[in-house]
Amino acid sequence: MHKTSNHTTNWKIILSKGHSSLGLYSLFETLGIEKDLTSKYCQIPNGLHGHTCSRASEFILASTGSLGHGLPIAAGYSYASRKLKNDCRTICITGDGDLQEGSNLEIFHSLIRLKDCELKIINDDNSSVESNFVKTNDFFFNLKNNYKGIDIIRSFDMTFFKDHKDLNEWLSLPGLKIANCKTLKGFGFKEMYNNPKWHAGIPNDLEYSKFISNFNFNLKDA
């Protein structure tokens, strides 16, 4: 995204796990893609609602909810772009909660038809989903076995600096690429690590001060 933020490449992004919209808005501001998005967050009716809103940027493909069913939208858009011979890269960010949704599962099992599309799927696997309907590690292991002969699925541990570099290189390759990224919810703030309390909780002033004074964003091999 950083490399394409100068608008020279045609690209779209859909944040299927729409409850992470504030992170996406912050990233857009940091990269200079958009301005003043965070100041409009949850400012209704003239601002942006709590989940990802397509009005926030021309690069956001669709508005989504907490489990936004974004993968079918991204897959259809990417397939249409290829049929129309548009040079468009479609980025879809899913989460382990998304994998509990049938519409997303159906697309994952139909990806062989999209192997030549410029579709990049990034799955945030922070293991915070309480449902055991779909276990992420088993799911991607079995999916990879189903697509033997084509290299479209890889896993990355995002607590390692090297894996960040490898992920960027992987997603820059042509065609369909799927990255299952092992992450820590609340990374950088040890008290928040995969703690259900902070799944949707807001720290008070004292907790906030403590978190800020003790943060550590160092990766294991940086």
pLDDT (0 to 100) of residue 126: 82
User: Shortest CA distance to 138 belongs to which of 96, 83, 169, 107?
Assistant: 96
Note the residue count of the chain: 222
Tokens 């909780």 label which residue? 201
Q: Which overall architecture, per CATH, does domain 10-19+49-183 show? A: 3-Layer(aba) Sandwich (3.40)
182-198 pLDDT, tens digit per residue, is 988 888 888 888 787 87
Q: Six-digit token pair at 12?
A: 């779209």
130-154 pLDDT, tens digit per residue, is 666 677 777 888 888 888 888 899 9
Rounded Cα distance between 222 and 188, Å, is 14
pLDDT (0 to 100) of residue 221: 66
Going along 3-55, which residue ranges are E strands?
10-15
Rounded Cα distance between 184 and 158, Å, is 8
pLDDT (0 to 100) of residue 171: 92
The whole-number average pLDDT for the span 40-44 is 84
The answer to whether residue 7 scores a pLDDT higher than 60 is no
pTM of the model: 0.86
Mean per-residue pLDDT over the chain, rounded: 84
Percent of the chain with pLDDT over 90: 28
82: phi then psi, degrees, rounded to nearest 5: -70, -40
Question: Beta partners for 146?
Answer: none
User: Shortest CA distance to 7 belongs to which of 89, 119, 67?
Assistant: 89
88-123 pLDDT, tens digit per residue, is 899 999 988 777 777 877 888 788 888 899 999 999
pLDDT (0 to 100) of residue 168: 92
Sheet order of strands, 153-157 included = 10-15, 88-95, 119-125, 177-182, 153-157
Chain centroid, CA 169 distance in Å:
17
pLDDT (0 to 100) of residue 163: 93
pLDDT (0 to 100) of residue 5: 47
Q: Peptide bond preceding 72: is omega within 30 degrees of 0, i.e. cis?
A: no
Domain boundaries, the chain: 10-19+49-183
